[in-house]
Amino acid sequence: MASLKAAKQALRVQLKQRLAALSDVNKAQQSKAVTLKLLSHSNYRNAQRIAVFLNMPDEIQTAEIISDIFQQGKTCFIPRYKPRSNHMDMVRLRSLEEIQQLPVTSWNIRQPEDGESREDALFTGGLDLVLVPGLGFDKEGHRLGRGKGFYDTFFERYSRQLAGKPHTIALAFQEQLCESIPVTEHDIEIDEILCAGDHEDMKN
């Protein structure tokens, strides 16, 4: 177990270095390509209730995706992380404009305040699609997160409460694709991984 933890940590360091080397132009180009793939994807087009992350600087940019969710009249949910825990809720974002009014966390991402009353996806019908961030992914659908376990514990709660899990699509830069990711039985598998480039996108 300790060696697995060390392997994950070493891979995180390597992936962060790869991402740090990406220029803003490259990140914007890859984000655009991934966004176009997603918006024409049948799982996205057919989904009504979608959870999407507000990206950090080293993640695929999601602003255009969020804009499209509202343009298409779909319902948008975003993560609300509880500090000093591995608990995350998916809560409803009411409008595109609202993002700018959300407070900024210590991770420099915007999210609704903890005590604020918002529709919670787990209590109002679940989700059709979850767009998942991460540091690294492999062709088996394994994901390496940032080590907090937010998404893994969220999907565990989801399956307990709603029986099953929503379709998951990871959004990734090419630099985030790995030969293999070290995993435990608690690590969830992603259904599909979309990234920029000509090669086939990865599917379970």
Q: What are the extents of the domains in the chain?
A: 2-203
Residue 160 annotated as binding? Answer: no
Residue 12 annotated as binding? Answer: yes
Higher pLDDT among residues 1 and 161, named by residue: 161
From 14-28, 48-62, 170-184, 187-201, the region with the lowest mean pLDDT: 187-201
Beta-sheet strand order (sheet of 129-132): 88-93, 75-81, 49-51, 129-132, 167-172, 192-195, 202-203
H-assigned helices in the chain: 2-20, 24-39, 42-46, 63-71, 150-162
Question: What six digits make up the tokens of 16?
Answer: 């962060």
Residue 47 annotated as binding? Answer: no
Answer whether CATH 3.80.30.20 is correct for domain 2-203. Answer: no
Residue 182 has pLDDT above 50, yes or no: yes
Residue 145 annotated as binding? Answer: yes
| Residue (of 87, 88, 79, 86) closest to 51 by Cα position | 79
Alpha carbon distance 167, 153 (integer Å) = 16
Q: What is the pLDDT of residues 79-96, one digit of tens each?
A: 999 888 889 999 999 999
Residue 44 annotated as binding? Answer: no
Determine the pLDDT at residue 164. 85
Percent of the chain, pLDDT > 90?
73
Residue 145 has pLDDT above 50, yes or no: yes
From 13-22, 25-34, 141-150, 169-178, the region with the lowest mean pLDDT: 141-150
Residue 149 annotated as binding? Answer: yes
Residue 82 annotated as binding? Answer: no
- Burial degree of 20 (CB within 10 A; 0-12, 13-18, 19+): exposed
Using an 8 Å Cβ cutoff, are 129 and 137 in contact?
no
Residue 199 has pLDDT above 60, yes or no: no
Residue 54 annotated as binding? Answer: yes
Alpha carbon distance 197, 136 (integer Å) = 16
Q: What is the pLDDT of residues 50-76, one digit of tens each?
A: 999 999 999 999 999 999 999 999 999
Residue 144 annotated as binding? Answer: yes
Residue 36 annotated as binding? Answer: no
Residue 9 annotated as binding? Answer: yes
Determine the pLDDT at residue 201. 54
Residue 171 annotated as binding? Answer: no
- Burial degree of 100 (CB within 10 A; 0-12, 13-18, 19+): exposed
pTM of the full predicted structure?
0.93
Determine the pLDDT at residue 120. 96
Residue 203 annotated as binding? Answer: no
Q: What is the pLDDT of residues 121-130, one digit of tens each?
A: 999 999 999 9
